[in-house]
Structure 1
């Protein structure tokens, strides 16, 4: 089996893709962005499911959502001019610290 943490990382990156993709679907009214978003959703869940064969579900789910949250927040700043207020960036940093902590303390 491929490294489960690598699979989890791919799942998280795909989560970023579908979360940002939702913005471009315009409520699923645009066919191409909608299809790509759904494809990214399915692929993200697939890689998450593969990783969870080895990684504990609580750890895997938290890391998956953390990667998605941080990446989506960063892309929101870059693509959509969302806030870069220091408290917001600090909280994003806390999520990153949580992801690192979960990885360092994981039994896998």
Structure 2
């Protein structure tokens, strides 16, 4: 269960980062509200998961999911460049995160 909660918390990290970008410096209410809620839920989920998962592994997986999700969001929604090198780097992050999960 802790791994599932960690996965959802990582996805929520992507949500809060995207909302932060959309909030335009907290000048837009709805994206600012989504940011606060997603950030809170993401942190609560991370805290819950870290009761069973070692902190180094849990944090690295959480950040990795959030980082990959945020880059994919940027490429899919914001028109950021999709290049072979960016995709290879994302693959390296995913491989590292998967490795930490399976070595746990």
Residue 53 of structure 1 pairs with residue 83 of structure 2: no
**2: CA distance, partners of 1:22 / 1:102:** 28
- What count of residue pairs does the alignment treat as equivalent? 104
Q: Where in structure 2 are the equivalents of 1:96-107 lying within 5 Å?
A: 96-106=94-104
**1: CA distance, partners of 2:36 / 2:88:** 31
Q: Which runs of 5+ in 2 are unaligned?
A: none
Aligned to 1:14: 12
Q: Which runs of 5+ in 1 are unaligned?
A: none
**2: CA distance, partners of 1:76 / 1:32:** 20
TM-score under structure 1 normalisation? 0.94
Which structure 1 residue ranges, 4+ long, deviate > 4 Å from structure 2?
Answer: none
Query: How large is the RMSD of aligned CA atoms in angstroms?
Result: 0.6
TM-score under structure 2 normalisation? 0.98
In the TM superposition, residue 32 of structure 1 has moved relative to its aligned partner by: 1.1
